[in-house]
Amino acid sequence: MTERIQKVLARAGLGSRREVERWIREGRVTVNNRPAELGQQIDPSCQVAVDGRSVALASTPSAPARILLYHKPVGQICSRDDPQGRPTVFDSLPRLRGRRWVSVGRLDINTSGLLVFTTDGELAHRLMHPSTGIEREYRCRVRGNPGERELKRLLTGVTLGGQLCRFELVEAGRGSGANRWFRVVLREGRNREVRRMWQSVGSTVSRLIRVRYGPFQLERQHHTGESIELSESQSAKLLQSAGGAQASARVQKSGRKRPGTRHRR
């Protein structure tokens, strides 16, 4: 059976589908010693290489996906490498052999909170895709004095870069005057979307924390810089919200249950 090359390499844990597509456009991927093309169909008999290094294509399903919940601190970036030498979230994750952690979305350097990682790039693509409608919840401390009119605009939708962006929920929390806390929920993960939305109504976010991704909350006992590996039952709970039984099957193991595991570097 043949499959698209970017899907095969992403599922193998080499990177997200978006990363693999970029590698193909840059000419870094070859199939049978010829430059690969986006959407090219391949099978396990093909000789695939990335940056000249051969990639083994399994003829049987790859190892089940692993999923981590990571509490990102302020000051870390979500790229693997940084020319400026800043710390990255990947420095704090448990080491893998033959696979890589792929981030499900990103948080900017000044945002803390919950990040999801998986070893399956195709699964990461599914979890990020807008069609899944997975909720992201944030706590934000806002400078300014947004009133009922501004909050209604954020719920109705504001246009950013030609795209309509809206919160599913805006709920005022503690604080008053120039600095107030709000709880907001949205179903997309565009670049700096929460900050830009508040800016569009004349307010500035001074602190931003993601506290929920889909069914998983950032618990109080989940310390900054700590990652928690989900058990199979926990993973299935997340995946059911992103594709039902087909997605859930990606983490199933025959007859063996893995408990949630904490990792701290």
Q: Which active-site residues does the annotation give?
A: 108
Q: How far apart are CA 82 and CA 62, in angstroms?
A: 30
113 burial type by CB count under 10 A (0-12 exposed, 13-18 middle, 19+ buried): buried
Longest dimension (CA), the chain: 65
Contact 237, 244 (CB under 8 A): no
> In the 8-state DSSP scheme, what is residue 107?
-
Q: How far apart are CA 218 and CA 212, in angstroms?
A: 6
Phi, psi of 54 (to 5 degrees): -65, 140
Q: How far apart are CA 79 and CA 62, in angstroms?
A: 25
**3-state SS class at 154:** helix
- Give just the sign of the alpha carbon dihedral 139, 104, 214, 231: negative
Upper half-sphere CA count for residue 138 (Cβ side, 13 Å): 26
Q: 226: how many CB neighbours lie within 10 A of its CB?
A: 16
